[in-house]
Amino acid sequence: MSLLRSWVAAANAADTDFPLNNLPYGVFSDATRGPRCGVAIGDRILDMAALEAAGLLRLGDMPLFAEPGWNTLMAQGPAVWGALRTQLIALLAEGAAERVAVEPHLVPMAGAQLHLPFRVTGYTDFYASRQHAFNVGTMFRGAENALPPNWLHIPIGYNGRASSVVVSGTDVRRPWGQVKGPEDAAPRFAPSARFDIELELGAIVGTGSSDPLTVAEADAMIFGYVLLNDWSARDIQAWEYQPLGPFQGKATATTISPWIVTAAALEPFRAHGPAREKPLLPYLDEPGPMLYDIDLEVGLTPEGGAESVISRTSYREMYYSAAQQLAHHSTAGCRMDVGDLLGTGTISGPDKGSFGSLLELSWGGKEPLTLADGAQRSFVEDGDTLILRGQCRGDGYRIGFGDCSGTVIPAFEDPYRRS
């Protein structure tokens, strides 16, 4: 597909994340009004509440943008999602008759504050990149036993904390927790010294279900995607994870990008993933390519310093797609709700420069990486800003997610005596 040209001039620039082909959904506020739904187009945000109030959108009998979140719209289902996208493209396309009526409802992106784009009703994180699972397993169990026996048969996941999901730009405070190193005779309570990131994609469930889903049904339920950084305290996790898996080591924060890139915008970039090493059970069969060709990268900027890109990889590296993860999640009768968020797990490619966590990039701290200014990192230090980026590249345009960023601030001096 080629670039769809818009009367919003900035949307036609080759270097914008937000051409007319994209139209991602977010929530913003500015000096004039509080948080409300918006659509990114070039360097502007289209105010959806104002557009609806002016009668320029026709999607049904009830208001869909009265609250600052996309949950109400999501709950209407794929037919309404498609109708909205069709109307938005028509309103913003080059030569649109409605330009004069629509233009007053565009807000400069530069002066806007972005908020969580939807109400997160549940959060599940998976462990679905083969290279990441192999890397981590090799560090702790050796290459011959790197993958657990179930890994090539099942998307492994755990239920996380929806309350810990924050929008890009939110500071992340270094957590305290129980840790026990090899030199410790007993556990101690201390700030995490091995704080890390995880480069992930998040899938947003747009319609609910109460029955087991096929992969095709699950795929149709996914409203869109965000970049996702599942901050991880590796030392807390290492002490607590047996026998029940991640808990406090993963509970500090999960940062997501502020714009929901819809499944419809990603459709031209469908892609197959790696070859299967073992056949999957029939309920996980894929009806076609379930991944997307999304280029991903991680930048690390020390406080007062310059950014270093420390990882470049692709969503095509996933062994299990978001649709397979959602289908598997539903098998035991788990109800899926509008606004559920599914994290892919760390996305790592085959080479060291494509690993999606500092745990892998520094190989457990044994091989620190060198930044552009000569500083070294094994794990995230206070003052570091981590930025995730993602793009699909089309013919004369790109589909971007916007930055997914967070800055680590120091742990409380004493978490029980805060001023």
Q: Residues marked as binding for Ca(2+)?
A: 125, 198, 200, 230
Name the amino acid, one letter, at 394.
G
Q: CB neighbours of 35 closer than 8 A, spacing ≥ 6? A: 27, 28, 29, 68, 115
132 is catalytic: yes
- Neighbouring-strand partners of residue 115: 27
Report phi then psi at 401, rounded to 5.
-105, -10
- Summarize the annotated binding site as residue ranges: 125, 127, 141, 198, 200, 230, 237, 241, 250, 254, 346
- Decide: 123 and 205 in contact? Cβ < 8 Å: no
Q: CB neighbours of 224 closer than 8 A, spacing ≥ 6? A: 24, 25, 203, 204, 206, 260, 261, 262, 263, 265
Q: List the structure tokens of 84.
A: 């909205």
Cα–Cα distance between 413 and 190 in angstroms, integer?
10
Query: What is the tally of helices (H) and strands (E) in the chain?
Result: 10, 27
Q: Please name the helix (run of DSSP H) or strand (run of DSSP E) that holds residue 130, with its range, or none.
A: helix 130-141
Q: List the structure tokens of 402.
A: 């916007």
- Indicate which residue of 105, 115, 132, 328 is catalytic: 132
Q: Work out whether strand 172-173 and strand 165-167 pair parallel, antiparallel, or are unpaired.
A: unpaired
Q: List the structure tokens of 157.
A: 């996941």
Query: Tokens 């091995």, residue?
Result: 194
CA distances 288 to 215, 292, 342, 364, Å, are 10, 12, 21, 37
Q: Give catalytic residue positions.
A: 132
